[in-house]
Structure 1
């Protein structure tokens, strides 16, 4: 069980790093995504990889 926690924490940290280093069209997009990921950790991570990554391409 402890290993799953570390994997989850690593994915969460990578998501925050990925949001911070991504290029966005507008200046507020990054702030919104960071807040979504911080306040909704599991759902925010899923939303980022499903919808957020596509919006930065």
Structure 2
């Protein structure tokens, strides 16, 4: 059962995507923008996460 680093990398990407989706839901962006960001993160896990981190909506609900 030699999983190597591929399993660990996959878990880190999954954790990052879940974190991004939770933060997208908590953002103050419109529902349409939230949907677009969530689809980007789900369809492009690594690229979507990177784009959201640098370009995504900031600030949560007060």
Gaps of 5+ in 2: none
**Larger helix proportion, structure 1 or 2?**
1
How many pairs were matched up?
Answer: 54
The CA RMSD over aligned residues, in Å, is 1.5
Structure possessing the higher relative contact order (Cα contacts under 8 Å, 6 or more residues apart) = 2
Higher Rg of the two aligned structures? 2
Q: TM-score, normalised by structure 2?
A: 0.71
Q: TM-score, normalised by structure 1?
A: 0.76
